[in-house]
Every structure is written in C-alpha cells, then in structure tokens.
Amino acid sequence: MINVAETCVGTRALGPGLRSVVWVQGCPFRCRGCIAPDWIPFREARAVAPDELAGELLADPDVTGLTLSGGEPMAQASGLAAMVRAARAGRELSVICFTGFRREELAGRPDAQALLAEVDVLIDGRYVRSRNDDRGLRGSGNQRVHHLTGRLATAAGELADGPRRAEVRVRGGEALLVGVPPRALAEAFTTSDEEPR
C-alpha cells in the first residue's frame, strides 16, 4: 500500500505535457520553508494499492506523464515503482520524481533502485530556501536534474531553467498548490516555520 497525502489529475504545472501527480505522506528531511509541511510527518493519510492509484492517476485519458513528490517518494519507493509499472502497462508515460536524497545516497538501496528504473527524470537534493533561484522545476539551485532516460530530453532546458508554473486547486473548501511556485507565491503560501503538525 502507498500512503498518499494528495493527488492531482491533469496538470501542466509539474512537468511537460498533461501530467498527474501523487504526493506521498512522510519525509525525513524537514527542510526549512517546505511548501508542504503537512505532508512531512510519518502518519497515516490514505492507504492506496499501487494498481488502484495507477487507475486514479490515469482517469483522464489525455494524461501523458506522472510526477512523484511528497513528502519523500523514496520513503515509499517499492510501492511507487509498482504503481508506475501498473500505469505503464496501459499507457506510454513519462515519469518525473522529486527526492530530497542525492542520487548517490540511493546507490545501496534496492527499493530506491527499483523506482529509479521506472523514472525518466530525477530531481534530487534537499530544498534550501536561501538558494531558491526562481528557476525551473527545481525548488532551489542546489537541486540537480538527472535525465535517467532520453524520454524528456527535449524538455531539459524547461526542467532546469524554465519559468515556473503553479496552479491553485480548490476542493472542498481547501486550497491545493500544484507546481513549483514562483518564489513570491511560495512565500505567500507558506504561513510559518513552526514544526509541522
């Protein structure tokens, strides 16, 4: 089962084309200024089987890619790898994954390697608020964009240095910020640096 914090079907704010996004619950890093502090604690959110999550993310037939974020996807690497395999069984998809781990830190982890085998673009490194350079799909300038396959090679400039895009989705009276927002929007959306709930 995958512990899911949130999903968004059909966005253009987190990578090329029309994508679906899953944010997992739980992250070990607690980066100062995190845009999603509610998704840091390792607590039960919504448990979803990999094949069920794949079906949810592919509800829109025009979706051409998946983006994995959080929380920390590598904390649930095995389940996410199974979900991507299930999704790709029915459709050609590109996969982008964010992680606070450096790629080198994942070398000895079979679960992480299983997920990386399904990922086209890995964006790695912890978020550093003072290094937020307002560029690309990276949250801060220390983060690196790794093209693990050639599937999104034509989007290399956009991913590393292109303009940022964000969407605000309102559901059930709550706002969901989708994307790596421009710095001014991120600062407005982040309400405090207190410990996450």
Averaged pLDDT, 85-89: 97
196, part of any domain: no
Averaged pLDDT, 151-156: 94
Of 48, 49, 31, the closest CA to residue 40 belongs to 31
**Helical (H) or strand (E) element with 178:** strand 174-179
Does 133 score more than 70 pLDDT? Answer: yes
Averaged pLDDT, 103-132: 95
- Partners of 174 in beta bridges: 171
Q: How many structural domains does the chain have?
A: 1
195, part of any domain: no
According to the model, what pLDDT value does residue 188 have?
Answer: 65
Bigger pLDDT: 192 vs 139: 139
**Which structural domain, as residue segments, surrounds residue 34?**
2-189
197, part of any domain: no
Does 190 score more than 60 pLDDT? Answer: no
Does 103 score more than 80 pLDDT? Answer: yes
41, part of any domain: yes
- CA 53, 170, 25, 101 dihedral sign is positive
97, part of any domain: yes
According to the model, what pLDDT value does residue 192 have?
Answer: 39
- Report residue 4 as tokens: 């899911």
78, part of any domain: yes
Maximal CA-CA distance, the chain: 43
Helix axes 50-57, 77-88, angle to 10 degrees: 50
Of 69, 157, 170, the closest CA to residue 115 belongs to 69
